[in-house]
């Protein structure tokens, strides 16, 4: 029976191809829309996090001794004064997001592992590397302020990697070291910035942190409140609302497209199906012809749409590369939306095919056969 149904479907190549084009292109558009919107939202959050530092950031005033794992200070590289960040490489990525595109010569995890394994290691920006002709493993001497004496001291570091962007760091030259080694050379009384990953709403967490640390004069910021304040075009344009409207529209159209294909198939094959009914074919056999074509369209259409939709998303993100800062390491895949899109197409086919055979039993068979 399966071979017979496939052979029967092969005779209707033109209608099936038309259905594949309509259904496949529509679902591909939905896949493209969902992936691009999810990727845009992902990069908007990443951009805001790079500017702010994390979901919640508490900055201590100079008089307060902090115990947090980030110490923002300054050091001289030759005549240049650059931002220097002392971090706990083992736990830094747990409080914020690090992206592979922010590092050269290795992934974020590999670079953090090298820094963690090298007590006097330092990550420098590409500009600093080029200006001073440095390479991995080279010795770099920094001149920083020694807090107990108020004098500048020279501390040796070894270059272990290149960093282009770091949460809360400026977008030009800066350096990243191990917190313990930085404090060992400068005798800094402690770190002065807290980066926190919020498990609940960042604004609510920031409010509680601000209340608990108000006596110390801390400044607390959260990613939700600060996202609109960033200068990047990614985070200043919110696609959430229009994206949801378009996603709902595409889901409805996907179901309608499958229902339309099945309805047209019934009209085109009315004589054939009416003849089967006149010859006392069972409802199950009649419905099998309709379902086989709908299933073929669904399976092939979804496979084609998945590949084409992803390709369109890659091209769209590549065309808008200048908009994304930082560029995405990978496309975000909205699995819930894609499942809903496929489910809508299946539901449209089921709703249209379920009563098809029963309607044929009640059609004026003689009139249909005479019309043909």
Q: pLDDT tens digit string along 151-180?
A: 888 889 999 999 988 887 877 788 999 988
Supply the pLDDT for residue 277: 64
Residues 6 or more apart whose CB falls under 8 angstroms from that of 262 comprise 290, 293, 294, 348, 349, 352, 353, 356
Supply the pLDDT for residue 174: 87
d(CA 141, CA 136): 14
- Per residue in 269-325, pLDDT (tens digit) is 666 666 666 666 666 776 677 777 777 777 888 888 888 888 888 887 777 766 666
d(CA 177, CA 319): 36
Residues (pLDDT < 50) of the chain are: 63-68, 230-235
Supply the pLDDT for residue 67: 40
**With helix as H, strand as E and coil as C, how does the chain read?**
CHHHHHHHHHCCHHHHHHHHHHHHHHHHHHHHHHHHHHHHHHHHHHHHHHHHCCCEEEECCCCCCECCCEEEEEEEECCEEEEEEEECCCCHHHHCCCCHHHEECCCHHHHHHHHHHCCCEEEECHHHHHHCCCCCCCEEEEEEEECCCCEEEEEEEEEEEEECCCCCCCCCCEEEEEHHHHHHHHCCCCECEEEECCCCCHHHHHHHHHHHHHHHCCEEEEHHHHHHHCCCHHHHCCCHHHHHHHHHHHHHHHHHHHHHHHHHHHHHCHHHHHHHHHCCCCHHHHHHHHHHHHHHHHHHHHHHHHHHHHHHHHHHHHHCCCCCCCCCCCCCCCHHHHHHHHHHHHHHHHHHHCCHHHHHHCCCHHHHHHHC
The pTM assigned to this predicted structure is 0.51
Strands 174-178 and 103-104: what pairing? unpaired
d(CA 118, CA 112): 10
Supply the pLDDT for residue 159: 93
Supply the pLDDT for residue 355: 64
d(CA 165, CA 307): 32
Specify the residue for token string 């043909």. Answer: 372
The sign of the dihedral angle between the CA atoms of 343, 348, 350, 351 is positive
Supply the pLDDT for residue 158: 92
- Using left for φ > 0, alpha for ψ between -120 and 50, and beta otherwise, residue 53 falls in left
Supply the pLDDT for residue 102: 85
Supply the pLDDT for residue 110: 92
């Amino acid at each position: 029976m399966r071979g017979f149904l496939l052979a029967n479907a092969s005779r209707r190549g033109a209608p099936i191809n038309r259905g594949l084009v309509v259904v496949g292109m529509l679902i591909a558009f939905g896949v493209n829309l969902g992936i691009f919107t999810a990727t845009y939202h992902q990069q908007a959050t990443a951009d805001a996090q790079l500017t702010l530092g994390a979901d919640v950031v508490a900055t201590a005033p100079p008089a307060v001794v902090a115990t947090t794992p980030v110490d923002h200070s300054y050091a001289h590289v030759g005549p240049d004064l650059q931002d220097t960040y002392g971090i706990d490489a083992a736990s830094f990525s747990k409080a914020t997001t690090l992206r592979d595109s922010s590092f050269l010569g290795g992934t974020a995890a590999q670079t953090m592992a090298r820094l963690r394994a090298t007590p006097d290691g330092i990550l420098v920006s590409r500009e600093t590397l080029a200006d001073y002709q440095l390479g991995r493993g080279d010795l770099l001497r920094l001149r920083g302020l020694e807090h107990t004496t108020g004098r500048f001291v020279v501390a040796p570091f070894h270059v272990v990697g290149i960093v282009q962007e770091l949460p809360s760091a400026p977008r030009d030259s800066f350096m990243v070291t191990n917190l313990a080694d930085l404090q060992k050379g400068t005798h800094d009384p402690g770190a002065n910035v807290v980066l926190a990953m919020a498990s609940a709403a960042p604004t609510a967490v920031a409010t509680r942190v601000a209340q608990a640390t108000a006596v110390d004069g801390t400044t607390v910021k959260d990613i939700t409140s600060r996202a609109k304040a960033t200068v990047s075009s990614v985070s200043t344009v919110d696609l959430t609302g229009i994206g949801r409207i378009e996603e709902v529209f595409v889901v409805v159209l996907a179901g309608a497209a499958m229902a339309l294909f099945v309805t047209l198939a019934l009209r085109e094959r009315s004589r054939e199906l009416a003849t089967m009914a006149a010859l006392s074919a069972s409802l199950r056999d009649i419905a099998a012809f309709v379902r086989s074509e709908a299933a073929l369209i669904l399976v092939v259409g979804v496979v084609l749409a998945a590949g084409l939709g992803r390709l369109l998303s890659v091209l769209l993100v590549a065309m808008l590369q200048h908009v994304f800062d930082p560029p995405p390491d990978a496309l975000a895949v909205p699995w819930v939306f894609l499942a809903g899109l496929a489910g809508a197409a299946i539901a449209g086919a089921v709703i249209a095919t379920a009563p098809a055979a029963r309607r044929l039993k009640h059609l004026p068979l003689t009139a249909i056969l005479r019309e043909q």
